[in-house]
Amino acid sequence: HKQYRFAEIEPQWQKTWQQRNAFRATVDAQRPKFYCLEMLPYPSGRVHMGHVRNYAIGDAIARYKAMQGYNVLHPMGWDAFGLPAENAAIAHNMDPGQWTWSNIDYMKQQLKRLGFSYDWERELATCSEEYYAFEQQLFIELYTKGLVYRKKAQVNWCTQCQTVLANEQVEEGRCWRDGSEVVAKDLEQWFFRITEYADELLADLEKLQGGWPERVIAMQRHWIGKSTGAEITFAIPEASTTVTVFTTRPDTLCGATFMSLAPEHPLAQQLCAGKETQETVKQFIEKVRKQDSITRTSDKEKEGVFTGAYAINPLNGQSIPIWLGNFVLMEYGTGAVMAVPGHDQRDYEFARKYNLPIKEVISSEAGIEQEAWTGPGTLINSGEFDGLDNEMAKDAITEKLARQGTGRKTENFRLRDWGISRQRYWGNPIPMIHCSHCGVVPVPREQLPVKLPKGVKLQGSEESPLATVPEFVNTTCPTCGREAKRETDTMDTFVESSWYFHRYACQEDKTQPINRQAMDYWMDVDQYIGGVEHAVMHLLYARFFHKALRDLGYVGTDEPFSRLLTQGMVLLGGKKMSKSVGNIVDPDEMVERYGADTVRLFTLFASPPEKDLEWNESGVEGAFRFLGRLWRLVHEQPERYAHPDQTEPCNLSESARLLQQKLHQTIKRVSSSMEGNYHFNTAIAATMELVNEMNTFEDTTPAAQALYRQCLEALLKLLNPFVPHICEELWRDIGQTSLLAREPWPSYDEALAKADTITMVIQVNGKVRGKIDVPADIEKNEMERLSLDHERIQPYLQEMQVAKVIVVPGKLVNIVVKP
């Protein structure tokens, strides 16, 4: 009989699907839509097992939803700008574009061999001129709306290469290329005003509850980091000025024994001017300028220096010294902190180190001899507020300060505006022009896109590589016509991945970046699938971008992704598969040896999508053997299902009735595993059980044949989302002419799926103590659990030890107890 030759059938079906436009998605107002999206890959060279897993999960969902009757949108594309292309280009002395496009070609073929149900017509590469041109247009619209601005910010500057380095290019404070010193340098850079949406980004996490993993929601909440507290203003009489701090603990105000300013604070230099502290302060500021914010806020020892000036506590009039501290960041709060060593551990250590006073203002049993007390308590040493509970004191003190005009209640976010300037070549040019007369001017719409020039020198330039191309840089001002210069920074690649899913859904519109009608039909993404490493940045930026697009009128909803699934990692030998560890299994090689269906089946069967998956070849072989069994069900004895006259299973024998029950139970189990959690592993396990039952089924009467055929048809439909090639082939082999991919998902009959019940006997030490009705196919441990929990049995177990539980499947449980 016909053999299972995956190497022949897989490419054939891939071709057929393409020829018959099986996965082409078009707007159809009559049908409900389902937008299934997987995070688009970076075209690094080859598809890896993590991709395969991600896309096998997405494909199973997309195909399942299509069979359920949804109009499914399932696109794929390439996140194609970015540093690796630039590095590879430097290493191989080639053009980043050439490297990227050839990788895309190669990886696309790899994905095609896996038979994913993508609508390839909607494919996009973010480095294509069409895509980045539209992105430039959106950038300018955001600029016009006030959501884009420029300010000075720090970059990593290699003192040897005289160039800006990305964070990934800095290794332990040194340049990745030549190990020379890296310092922080201030450059004018472009920012997206994501903080404008901080409140909404936080509040709308509520809407994602249930659809997103709790962990991801928590990570976003933490990243946005809202704190409630107060701003308190201290006078500095000697300098006739004031300084304002942000604190979450106004209740501890009387415990402030000194103040810490960020070294970048505008007052820092002014306060020491003309004093003997001036020189040490200057040196300290220089030193801290070279430290990155990670070092500054890490657990390493805090450093500081006294400015020589004093500030007045607005509550008790006390004069406290003003210090600078490397751990105080200018970007957070006001860049100034009232230090309360008695109740803040960081201040405590700082005070111990520099011999500053420590004052207790919140009473506690532990006291503050050993460390700061950060818990709750009653106020002491705080004048009129003594005796107040500290939570109440927060409001009471803030109110008093507000009346005095020295404080107010406020909120603070950890979230910073999104710096999108990159001093790199392989990215989207920021479409702005600098005119010495008019300032910053956006490139007019009709002059877009600002094309990325080719053949640019990638290394050794002062700032951005684009700055070395005079034909690029020199232009005329669109406003006054004078000579002007183009912006030479490119955009962070996270900008591209913030709206690619909008673009997929309106690829046919070549006149504008986003088509509102297409959005109103296809958005939101119903299911997004990708790695948890994108839990914060990508997902937060994309949420921000969606809201900004909403405010530009491009989309009508608040959130882009209704449901999110973060798949686990693919491991080998307990470690994440990676080039650096050297434990890679190449997908191509596996497809070559076992076929795409086997590879897909293994990745879906070996563990539920959200858990890590341990690659093991014997598991792959097991999956392959299962497909062989499936194949033989159809091809070994066609006479078992091919009776010419009978098509309806009726008047079934007892064994046939049981198989029928199994069939309906299987459809039920698979369907419910597909809903909700997408636990494909249990769905697949259920189909395996059905295959076993079919294998041992011996009835060959006409009625049994009709039933057997029903089983086969349902089985192929149930397995189609996971192993579509073999299922299509077998579907045709049993005489069907339709495309299985377009067949409806099978339904089951609840009455037929209902398990028979049996009466189970429960004994204690051999004596019958109870009877219960249970499903006939009950599992052994379930029998045991029911018996031990049974209320009639409980009294016999009291003060006794269960020595042994004997289970006779489907009949009885005997609990052996002893005192």
Do β-strands 527-531 and 564-567 pair in parallel, antiparallel, or remain unpaired? parallel
340 contact choice in ligand ANZ, Zn ion, none (CB below 5 to 8 Å, kind-dependent): ligand ANZ
Q: Give 71's strand partners.
A: 33
Residue 586 corresponds to which tokens in the numbers above?
């190449």
Nearest to Zn ion of 478, 775 (CB atom)? 478
435 contact choice in Zn ion, ligand ANZ, none (CB below 5 to 8 Å, kind-dependent): Zn ion
C-alpha dist (Å) from residue 43 to 93, 130, 133, 421, 784: 18, 18, 20, 22, 53
Min dist. Cβ of residue 335 to ligand ANZ (A) = 5
Min dist. Cβ of residue 253 to ligand ANZ (A) = 8
Min dist. Cβ of residue 344 to ligand ANZ (A) = 4
437 contact choice in ligand ANZ, Zn ion, none (CB below 5 to 8 Å, kind-dependent): Zn ion
Nearest to ligand ANZ of 252, 277 (CB atom)? 252
Nearest to ligand ANZ of 96, 250 (CB atom)? 250
Q: Give 323's strand partners.
A: 260, 306
Nearest to ligand ANZ of 329, 761 (CB atom)? 329
The whole-angstrom separation of Cα 600 and Cα 590 is 10
Q: Give 419's strand partners.
A: 191
Nearest to ligand ANZ of 408, 769 (CB atom)? 408
Min dist. Cβ of residue 484 to Zn ion (A) = 6
Asked if 724 and 63 count as a contact pair (C-beta separation under 8 A), the reply is yes
- Give the total residue count for the chain: 819
What's the one-letter identity of residue 552? L
The whole-angstrom separation of Cα 297 and Cα 299 is 7
Phi, psi of 377 (to 5 degrees): 170, -170
Nearest to 192 by CA among 155, 157, 151, 221: 151
What stretch of H or E contains 566?
strand 564-567
The whole-angstrom separation of Cα 445 and Cα 513 is 12
Min dist. Cβ of residue 208 to ligand ANZ (A) = 24
**Binding pattern to ligand ANZ, positions 727-756, x when CB under 6 A?**
------------------------------
* Torsion 710-712-713-719 (CA) sign: positive
Nearest to ligand ANZ of 389, 733 (CB atom)? 389
- If one counts every other C-beta atom within 10 angstroms of the C-beta of residue 702, the result is 16
- If one counts every other C-beta atom within 10 angstroms of the C-beta of residue 260, the result is 23
Q: Give 363's strand partners.
A: 378
C-alpha dist (Å) from residue 708 to 153, 617, 656, 703: 70, 33, 9, 9
The whole-angstrom separation of Cα 98 and Cα 235 is 61
Nearest to ligand ANZ of 222, 575 (CB atom)? 222
Min dist. Cβ of residue 480 to Zn ion (A) = 3
Min dist. Cβ of residue 337 to ligand ANZ (A) = 4
Nearest to Zn ion of 297, 479 (CB atom)? 479
Min dist. Cβ of residue 287 to ligand ANZ (A) = 17
Mapped onto helix, strand or coil, the DSSP state of residue 561 is: strand
Nearest to 334 by CA among 264, 453, 246: 246
479 contact choice in Zn ion, ligand ANZ, none (CB below 5 to 8 Å, kind-dependent): Zn ion
| Chain residues 215-254 in contact with ligand ANZ, contact rule CB under 6 A | 227, 246-249, 252
445 contact choice in ligand ANZ, Zn ion, none (CB below 5 to 8 Å, kind-dependent): none
- How many Å separate Cα 694 from the centre of its chain? 42
Confirm or deny that 151 is annotated as ligand binding: no
Q: What is the DSSP letter of 374?
A: -
Min dist. Cβ of residue 353 to ligand ANZ (A) = 17
227 contact choice in Zn ion, ligand ANZ, none (CB below 5 to 8 Å, kind-dependent): ligand ANZ
Q: Give 277's strand partners.
A: none
| Chain residues 386-415 in contact with ligand ANZ, contact rule CB under 6 A | 412
Size of the site for ligand ANZ (CB under 6 A): 19
549 contact choice in Zn ion, ligand ANZ, none (CB below 5 to 8 Å, kind-dependent): none
338 contact choice in Zn ion, ligand ANZ, none (CB below 5 to 8 Å, kind-dependent): ligand ANZ
Min dist. Cβ of residue 770 to ligand ANZ (A) = 58
Query: 567-580: buried (b, 16+ CB within 10 Å) or exposed (e) per residue?
Result: bbbbbbeeeebeee
For 360, half-sphere exposure in the C-beta direction (CA atoms, 13 angstrom radius) is 17
The whole-angstrom separation of Cα 643 and Cα 373 is 83
The whole-angstrom separation of Cα 731 and Cα 739 is 8
Min dist. Cβ of residue 362 to ligand ANZ (A) = 8
**Binding pattern to ligand ANZ, positions 322-351, x when CB under 6 A?**
-----xxx--xx-x-xx-x--xx-------
Nearest to Zn ion of 438, 805 (CB atom)? 438
Q: Is 631 in the site for ligand ANZ (CB under 6 A)?
A: no
Do β-strands 575-576 and 570-572 pair in parallel, antiparallel, or remain unpaired? antiparallel
3-state secondary structure labels for all residues of 493-519: HHHHCCCHHHHHCCCCCCCCCCCHHHH
443 contact choice in ligand ANZ, Zn ion, none (CB below 5 to 8 Å, kind-dependent): none
Which runs of E-coded beta strand occur in 514-559?
527-531
- If one counts every other C-beta atom within 10 angstroms of the C-beta of residue 723, the result is 28
| Chain residues 459-488 in contact with Zn ion, contact rule CB under 5 A | 477, 479-480
> In which residue are the tokens 């308190």 written?
232
**Binding pattern to Zn ion, positions 408-447, x when CB under 5 A?**
---------------------------x-xx---------
Estimate the share of the chain in helix, then strand, then coil, as percent rounded to the nearest 5: 40, 20, 40
Min dist. Cβ of residue 436 to Zn ion (A) = 8
Size of the site for Zn ion (CB under 5 A): 6
Binding site per annotation, positions for ATP: 579
Annotated binding site: 579
Judged by the rule CB under 5 A, the positions of this chain that interact with Zn ion are 435, 437-438, 477, 479-480
Under the rule (CB under 6 A), what is the footprint of ligand ANZ? Answer: 227, 246-249, 252, 262, 327-329, 332-333, 335, 337-338, 340, 343-344, 412
